Amino acid sequence: MQATAYLCLVIATLCWGGNSVAGKLAVGHISPMMLTFLRWFIAVALIALISVPQLKRDWPVVRKNLPLLFFYGVIGYTLFNAMLYSAVQYTTAINVAIEQAGIPMLIFLLNFMFFRTGISLAQCLGFGMTLIGVALTAAHGDLATLLQLSLNRGDGLMLIAIAAYSVYTIFLRWKPPVDWRTLMAFPALGAMLTSVPLLLWEAGRGAALWPDQAGWVITFYTATFPSLLAQILYIKGVEAIGANRAGLFINLVPVFGTLLSVALIGERLQSFHMIALALTLGGIAIAEKGRPKASAPTVPASPVD
């Protein structure tokens, strides 16, 4: 049973790690906002196929919480992915993958600021290490560039994506009591609708690019694997071993993203990438191990939707 749960969680994080690579491969084949819209258009259709009876049963609850569910889609799905797919136009997929390790740290910080979640010395140390690792990656190995307020445009966009997903995760504490399929379907619908203005903006700039054959393959990958399959497998893993233990597997996302970037795109893995990975993953592990016993970590529903 546990082995099956572990396999589900590993495959889920592999799918999410591939999202950064998919965004990089999409360059020249489909524009960022076109990819964001088509991804959620296809995902909504697929989710509806497996969820219509459940959606009908949950509709009375959904109707009362529709603004919140759409907010999940706007922040966690549309904004996160629009920024990610835009970021890889200017920076490497490795950078994007590693920078996502900053999400747990920011979630922790927001929980502490707004909800006074317990804090330990080990957590301060761990998230300090994670912050240095993410900063090192964003600065391409030269922290002095941060002091000069000089930051690659892509890495800056990715930091916005990280902030968006962290806010989304914090708001999940108020999610309505509905089935997981409903919790996927309505935010995805909100994401699809709110990506339309972004697509129109992109088209107005003359930057919209309809997908070619490779672009369609990438679109269907993002719509099925990170959006649907990974979510289902992650939920199954959480059901089998619990959210706390399953949440540790999220740390594999930057690892898989980095390895896939090297293997599939041929990006160069530099020494500062290795140092940053060690700092971010080691910091998260220390923070998790040293968390106060009375507090449970906030686990994202799907860390790279």
Is residue 151 within 8 Å of residue 145, measured between CB atoms? Answer: yes
pLDDT of residue 172: 85
pLDDT of residue 42: 96
pLDDT of residue 293: 60
Q: Cβ neighbours of residue 261 under 8 Å, at least 6 residues apart?
A: 20, 21, 24, 92, 93, 94, 97, 267
HSE value, Cβ hemisphere, 13 Å, CA-based, for 155: 20
Query: Using one digit for the tens of pLDDT, what is the confidence trace for 153-212?
Result: 888 899 899 999 889 888 888 989 999 889 889 999 999 999 999 999 999 999 999 999
Is residue 227 within 8 Å of residue 188, measured between CB atoms? Answer: yes
pLDDT of residue 299: 45
The Cα 282–Cα 108 span in angstroms is 16
- How deeply is 11 buried, as exposed, middle or buried, from its count of CB atoms within 10 A (0-12, 13-18, 19+)? middle
The Cα 138–Cα 109 span in angstroms is 19
Is residue 168 within 8 Å of residue 191, measured between CB atoms? Answer: no
pLDDT of residue 272: 82
Helix intervals (H) in 26-120: 32-64, 66-72, 80-87, 93-99, 102-115
pLDDT of residue 74: 95
Find the distance separating the first CA and the last CA of the chain, reported in whole Å: 26
pLDDT tens track of the chain, all 305 residues?
688 888 998 898 899 989 989 999 999 999 999 999 999 999 999 998 988 999 999 999 999 999 999 999 999 999 999 999 999 999 888 888 888 877 877 887 888 788 877 777 887 787 788 778 877 776 767 776 666 555 678 888 998 999 998 898 888 889 899 998 898 899 999 999 999 999 999 999 999 999 999 999 999 999 999 988 988 888 788 778 766 566 667 778 888 888 899 889 988 888 888 888 888 778 777 876 776 665 444 444 555 55
Select from 149, 127, 128, 123 the least CA-distant residue to 138.
Answer: 149
